[in-house]
Amino acid sequence: MTNPRRNGLTSVADQSEDELGGAGSVLWRQRADHADLDALMHAYDAEPDADARGRIVAEFGERALRHAFAEETVLFPAYRRHLPGDDDELTAHIEGDHQQVNELLQDLQRADPASPGYDARVRRAFEVVRHDAHDEEDDLLPRLQQVADVGELRAIGAAWEAARRASPTRPHPKVPRRPPGNVVAGAGLAVSDRVKDAVDAALPVGSARRAVGRGALAVTAAAVVVAAVRRSLRGGRAGRRR
């Protein structure tokens, strides 16, 4: 490892893939996702066209929200579990920042990228995300690294990736930032968000077909959820009969 920083910990930004526990480790996954977010922020800075900037912000928002959901449902509970003697100030601070980013992204979803104030809100969201990435890479993740072995870091990483893939894709400021509330709400919101994503991809805003399409997709999504619940209930009854 390279020289430790002032807090006595070595930032994950300064460590190799092997030192972080391999590509499956939550340390490596977090750092890689931070790098992807940073690349989108730089792409926004370099793009002069307002509509293209809006598309970059939409991609950034989805990626940032998925990342935050995986942290709140998997990483932060694991951190608190492995470091029960630590105070909760760090994870609580980052969760507060996540709330702020959700609120900013919700406003940006409804805003015209060419409108006054749009760029300022985008840059505020970027600032908060960059601040959190430093808090995590320089402090939270190295602390977890000290107390969790490589197998545990990889198990947390696998759960983190599963949560990220199944997460809601849109901002939801009213959802709790901690389990079990965020996990329970997230399951339904993830389905709802994907319905909206499918409509946005297939039908232009303002199209006469948009409302019809959204309704049809919503019915389909609801049917999938109902079927999954019924399968779960049947499985539970079968288990009890055994």
Q: What angle do CA 67, 215, 180 make, to 5 degrees?
A: 35
Total domains in the chain come to 1
212 belongs to a structural domain: no
Q: Is residue 237 part of a domain?
A: no
Structure token digits, residue 172? 């939801």
Beta strands in 64-222 (DSSP E): none
pLDDT per residue rounded down to tens, the chain (242 residues): 455 565 789 999 999 999 999 999 999 999 999 999 999 999 999 999 999 999 999 999 999 999 999 999 999 999 999 999 877 899 999 999 999 999 999 999 989 999 999 999 999 999 999 999 999 999 999 999 999 999 999 999 999 999 999 999 999 999 999 999 999 999 899 999 988 888 777 655 444 444 444 455 545 544 544 444 444 345 445 444 44
Decide if 218 is inside a domain: no
Residue 69, domain member (yes or no): yes
d(CA 102, CA 121): 12
Residue 184 lies in a domain: no
CA 216/CA 184 separation, integer angstroms? 25
Q: Of 29, 31, 24, nearest to 10 (Cα)?
A: 31
Domain span at residue 100 reads 12-179
**Residue 231, domain member (yes or no):** no
Query: Considering the domain boundaries, does residue 44 fall inside one?
Result: yes
Residue 152 lies in a domain: yes
